[in-house]
Structure 1
């Protein structure tokens, strides 16, 4: 019988899990640190948007090919190589920031490298659990990864905000660089059974075409990801770019870091309850939950206080935990292992393709209409899109049964 911790009894999953948690410990600090590193060089939300877009553009452009690569090669090897490259890129970023040599274009170039690598590592990571664990253990594994990652993420942003205010953002970025190298070491211990690649095409491009055809056959992947496109654009712009700028003028880096930690608290607490929840109509659940994830926009657009903003991020984190679980359970049940990374990359492509637009647009919009009005407009749009998407048949007709996917997939 599967329990909350039973996936850790499998050695390969245990090493993968530890590596992911270590990685998350660094990443939870780097977001706050990078934002304030840019603002220290140029006190401009537009410049911060450029740096963040430099990461998101290649992560989207190369995502589809990244999924084909991750399905074609051993995923643990792909992840190990990606972590090493990211460690070097983030280490160089930290060096430039600590020494005071960093300019906005330096950070943009290094984020472009990181975004390119992410385009391969993201679909590889999302395809790991089904080849490490049997179907009965997967829900517990998804919740365990989310919960443990959020546990280290609770202190990460707050500690990063404190370091930014005292030692400077470069030290938090250096810690992130070190965690990538440590995570690569744990991934080197993962031994995977060979996946079935008898249906692989003769080239990466052929694998990509096959994955695209399968996504269209399923019918629900592209519509669901297209709705996600809107929410990711809104969150990346309103919270990722305007959020630190508003915080810089109100609650400061320490308050912003504490508030951002609230999202990890929400993910951690929600996992205890989600372990007992049976999801039947997962995509409709996702569409209803998406606007709740956007709740911090409402606070940022009205009255910004550290505790109120933190509470909104706690609620957003609980919503994020639910929608992540619903999506992962849907894909694991409906998509065969050999297609997993490609389907995840197609989802990632559509989900993130508008993220650079959100990051680049909010700065000029805030100058034209005011940051508060932009936040409230983004939240209103999130509610509208979620309400419409939750009624579409491509969303409501997808049901979970708990069975393994067939070799050719099922709807």
Structure 2
């Protein structure tokens, strides 16, 4: 078998191939949505403030309902949860497309569609995290996660450009219609997905009790709770790059074109990180991942008295690549070491911890930059990103998490003891 075939070997397994195909089609629409949404709001209201309101309308219910999504993804077949979320989003996006194309859309339509989308995402995310290990052999789990990341990273580069062409040639409503169609396509692949029966959280157990069980699974693994705390800090600290970066690009560089180039370079770096993750399998994945994660500090630091555009773009490429590798190693470790019947609940806590401080970071980055200066804010962000990535290694349980290794000639996996 060639080296290339080995890297994509997870696609040889039909369940994962079906899951990956459906998600790839869905990600096409997701990657185009930010551009289409921005121009849809401008078309309907012409207000940038309304765009922020619509974005918040999608984020808030997602954060609030993630834990509920995790519980239901452990109680029910995960593909059913994902299928339901896809169909809900298909109906919502399709209805909004019709309103936009007929000129009937109003702000409240956009807000309702955003809320529905956020609710569906809250259920889809934890179910998706839990479903991947059920579709692929344990020895190929990291490869499967890397392939999902590779596809998403590639589409995140190409999707906005495609959306821009479609919006310019037609109008935003057609992008929403295409997004709805991709959710239908994803649902078709989920229907075709054959999966073995698995142990699920008892449906007779109270909802709160199941939520508490998920919390106990998390607390029983110090490396998981420490990692979620780290992700919260990381998402808080990265905000100045995205908030102050456009301002610096306008004042010190060549404006929006240079900022677009920087973000595109970050997308290319994420693709490279996904390709590296197909083969890079350290014995202690979290130790390697968080050491690599220190490179994400390059993003804000490159904006200080800024480097030339090419230098900032190179820093973004390295940082996004490092982030992708670190995320892939983390996700694989979580899926390998957390019991399958509790995985969606634990991943819901992970998602919530990762998202909860993100709006705060975006809200305070601008005022902080005005209060203490741009350079001081960016230095603080860089120090937090690098410092948190190193500080988490003080936990022995984080350093000592090991990957699963296949048993030679048996096609099985040997579970190593998970550090507590």
TM-score normalised to the size of structure 2? 0.82
Q: Who is 2:27 aligned against?
A: 24
Q: Which piece of structure 1 moves more, 316-325 or 152-161?
A: 152-161
Post-superposition shift, 1:369?
A: 5.9
Distance change (3 Å), C-alpha of 1:230 and 1:201: farther
Distance change (3 Å), C-alpha of 1:210 and 1:299: same
Q: Who is 1:34 aligned against?
A: 37
Q: Which runs of 5+ in 2 are unaligned?
A: 407-412
Q: Which piece of structure 1 moves more, 205-214 or 263-272?
A: 263-272
Q: Who is 1:336 aligned against?
A: 339
Post-superposition shift, 1:130?
A: 1.5
Distance change (3 Å), C-alpha of 1:256 and 1:95: farther
Q: Distance in 1 between matches of 2:245 and 2:174?
A: 22
Distance change (3 Å), C-alpha of 1:169 and 1:366: farther
**Secondary structure, aligned partner of 1:127:** helix
Q: Who is 1:216 aligned against?
A: 219
Kept after mapping to 2: 8 A contact 1:157/1:260: no
Matched, 1:389 2:364: no
Matched, 1:296 2:305: no
Matched, 1:361 2:364: yes
Q: Distance in 1 between matches of 2:163 and 2:257?
A: 8
Q: Who is 2:71 aligned against?
A: 68
**Secondary structure, aligned partner of 1:197:** coil
Q: Which piece of structure 1 moves more, 73-82 or 365-374?
A: 365-374
Q: Who is 2:93 aligned against?
A: 90
Matched, 1:231 2:234: yes
Q: Distance in 2 between matches of 1:36 and 1:256?
A: 19
Q: Who is 1:152 aligned against?
A: 155
Q: Distance in 2 between matches of 1:71 and 1:263?
A: 35
Q: Deviations over 1:98-157 (max 9, x none)?
A: 677766665444323222211111010011121112212212211222222323333112
Q: Distance in 1 between matches of 2:254 and 2:164?
A: 11
Count of residue pairs the alignment pairs up: 409
Q: Which piece of structure 1 moves more, 13-22 or 360-369?
A: 360-369
Kept after mapping to 1: 8 A contact 2:201/2:342: no
Distance change (3 Å), C-alpha of 1:257 and 1:115: farther
Larger Rg: 2
Q: Distance in 2 between matches of 1:37 and 1:255?
A: 24
Q: How does 1:1-400 map to 2 (within 5 A)?
A: 3-35=6-38, 44=48, 48-94=51-97, 107-163=110-166, 169-197=172-200, 202-235=205-238, 237-239=239-241, 256-293=259-296, 295-300=298-303, 302-303=305-306, 307-365=310-368, 374-400=377-403
Q: Who is 2:409 aligned against?
A: none
**Secondary structure, aligned partner of 1:383:** helix
C-alpha RMSD of matched pairs (Å): 3.5
**Secondary structure, aligned partner of 1:62:** helix
Distance change (3 Å), C-alpha of 1:111 and 1:213: same
Kept after mapping to 1: 8 A contact 2:261/2:313: yes
Post-superposition shift, 1:218?
A: 1.7
Distance change (3 Å), C-alpha of 1:137 and 1:281: closer
Q: Who is 2:410 aligned against?
A: none
Q: Which piece of structure 1 moves more, 133-142 or 312-321?
A: 312-321
Post-superposition shift, 1:348?
A: 1.3
Kept after mapping to 1: 8 A contact 2:31/2:159: yes
Kept after mapping to 1: 8 A contact 2:298/2:319: yes
**Secondary structure, aligned partner of 1:278:** coil
